Amino acid sequence: MALVDDEHSGANLAHWEAMARFHGTGDDSYYDLDLLRSGGTLLGDEELDAIKRATHGDGLEGRDVLHLQCHIGCDSISMARMGATVTAVDFSRSALDRLDELARQCGVDITTVEADAVALPGSLSARFDVVYSSIGVLCWISDIDAWMGGVARVLRPGGKLVLVELHPLVTMVESLDPLIVDFPYRFDGPRVYSGTGSYANRGADIEWTTVQYAHSVGEVVTAAVRAGLTCTYLEEHTSGTFNTGQFLGPEDDDRYRLRLGAGAERDGRREPPCPMPVLFTFIGEKLDAASGIADAERS
Does a structural domain hold residue 49?
Answer: yes
Question: What is the C-alpha to C-alpha distance for residues 25 and 157, in angstroms, rounded to an integer?
Answer: 40
Q: Which residue segment(s) compose the domain that 96 sits in?
A: 9-298
The pLDDT tens digits for 42-60 are 999 999 999 999 999 999 9
Does a structural domain hold residue 4?
Answer: no
Does a structural domain hold residue 2?
Answer: no
Does a structural domain hold residue 163?
Answer: yes
The pLDDT tens digits for 226-284 are 999 999 999 999 999 888 766 768 999 999 999 988 899 999 899 999 999 999 999 99
Does a structural domain hold residue 85?
Answer: yes
Counted domains in the chain:
1
What CATH number corresponds to the domain at position 107? 3.40.50.150
pTM to 2 decimal places: 0.91
Does a structural domain hold residue 1?
Answer: no
Distances (CA, A) of 216 to 16, 185, 210, 225: 23, 6, 20, 14
Does a structural domain hold residue 207?
Answer: yes
Does a structural domain hold residue 20?
Answer: yes
The pLDDT tens digits for 176-209 are 888 899 999 999 999 999 999 888 888 888 899 9
pLDDT at 290: 46
Mean pLDDT for 106-115 is 98
Question: What is the C-alpha to C-alpha distance for residues 204 and 186, in angstroms, rounded to an integer?
Answer: 30
pLDDT at 298: 41
